[in-house]
Structure 1
């Protein structure tokens, strides 16, 4: 082949792309009325490492080192917990600085605030471990395929999701909502289960299979509740204020009382109450409260909807005259 027949290599103009990206960043900062470099956000990678450390400290023999002796286990837990909490404190400090910058607060002592949040969160870890023991028991007793609690702990995505949620909810409660939200999204990515850290979930909670489960911010779940895959506990509507902005923080998700079972694909929307001991069948779409001990199936809901539609048509005919 002749030298002049060789094809010219195709190259990207990296310098031009970098320049354009810088211009776009500058415009974005101007739109948000920022000058200079914005404060660092918490690091997703650091939070993944923190979750692994906290999980290992909570369950050292199963999620920690596999070579621990009775003499070394407390040292391992102490060392692992100290490292995880130190890193967590830095991520909370970043959240504090970010929020202070957003709100135009000058002189906020984020080091002190982060230290207090770390201390208050750490104090909840024994209670979190006790809750998780109840969740493990509920999963083992509720799934005939489970051969041991250890299998549930290391294999079940629902158990991983509830471990991460218990951690995230504690952080959410003591004043680190952004870090908590990021942990929830790490859990979502790892398990396919989306639980907002604000959701309040009682002991002995079990999510079987789990993929596609969504639990909203203001949901309240009682004791001994079991959910299957693709269950949604969501909001029915999103009210807006006079300026057209979404109203945030209102209670808009379901209350699920003790002993409720919700089967695969069920969707429950709005601030409704599912009474104690009720069973919600698969693929049910529910937007109203049900009393304790109810058994709600898809044909039943469809029949109620048709009856309501007929009544509305009759009322319309009557009013038209």
Structure 2
């Protein structure tokens, strides 16, 4: 090795200041996420066999992700496993919401296999439970994996109720402290975010609440922790909302569109 190359390598090592930044954790999390999806939905997957494989993979994730030895990460698996039937029940209700709301859905199998919105919801629900149990980093890596595949960015800390329907999915952002209640329909490009970004807002309710039976159309932006969209409301496309909306409201963008006949 030349002195010049040795100097370059030494400088790189000097700048690698994060001893726990192991990219293997990201790759292993993606593998774990795929295993979960196959275990819950694939007809040909043997559940008992995959559960054992999931447990072994989870142990590897614990070794990579739990840097603080005193945290009982290894005790999470059994509790998480016991939650999987309940999570699957919720996801089946989500899939039925897709069938109910989307006339383009030709079969329930199509929803499970071809709808990016359903995939994003599935990985959100699976990661959300792990976050509640206190497993570090892995839940966020799971939803970022789903984000990359689906175009839908759902933070695992969000709270989402039953029968959630996302149509087209691309460009949706759902922040960490969002609360979405039951039977909500959402279209592409919707943002449920904060009014501004400030580290001081950490651990505060900074994203909106969406009550039951709300429909939010494409590219609507709803911001703020005190913002509540009331039950049975319809939020029109391209709207910008930073204050609460009463129940049974219809919010629309009133921009004027002019059409001229070509000569």
Matched, 1:84 2:84: no
Q: 1:122: how far off?
A: 1.2
Residue 305 (structure 1) aligns with: none
Residue 214 (structure 1) aligns with: 173
Residue 23 (structure 1) aligns with: 11
Residue 75 (structure 2) aligns with: 116
Give 3-state SS (helix, strand or coil) of 1:246's partner.
helix
Residue 244 (structure 2) aligns with: 289
Root-mean-square deviation (Å) = 2.2
Higher CA-based Rg:
1
Residue 246 (structure 1) aligns with: 200
Structure (1 or 2) with the greater helix fraction: 1
1:16/1:261 Cα in 2 relative to 1: closer, same or farther (>3 Å)? farther
TM-score computed with the length of structure 2 as normaliser = 0.90
Give ranges in structure 2 of 5+ residues lacking alignment: 257-263
TM-score computed with the length of structure 1 as normaliser = 0.74
Checking the alignment, whether the CA contact within 8 Å between 2:128 and 2:156 is kept in structure 1 is yes
Q: 1:232: how far off?
A: 0.2
Q: 1:295: how far off?
A: 0.4
Q: 1:128: how far off?
A: 0.4
Residue 162 (structure 2) aligns with: 203
1:14/1:246 Cα in 2 relative to 1: closer, same or farther (>3 Å)? farther
Give ranges in structure 1 of 5+ residues lacking alignment: 1-12, 66-75, 101-107, 240-244, 303-321
Q: Which has the higher contact order (CA 8 A, sep 6+)?
A: 2
Give 3-state SS (helix, strand or coil) of 2:222's partner.
strand
Q: 1:296: how far off?
A: 0.3
Residue 182 (structure 2) aligns with: 223
Give 3-state SS (helix, strand or coil) of 2:207's partner.
coil
Checking the alignment, whether the CA contact within 8 Å between 2:193 and 2:224 is kept in structure 1 is yes
**Matched residue pairs, number?**
255
Distance 2:114 2:197 in 1: 37
Checking the alignment, whether the CA contact within 8 Å between 1:42 and 1:95 is kept in structure 2 is no
Matched, 1:47 2:17: no
Distance 1:50 1:252 in 2: 31
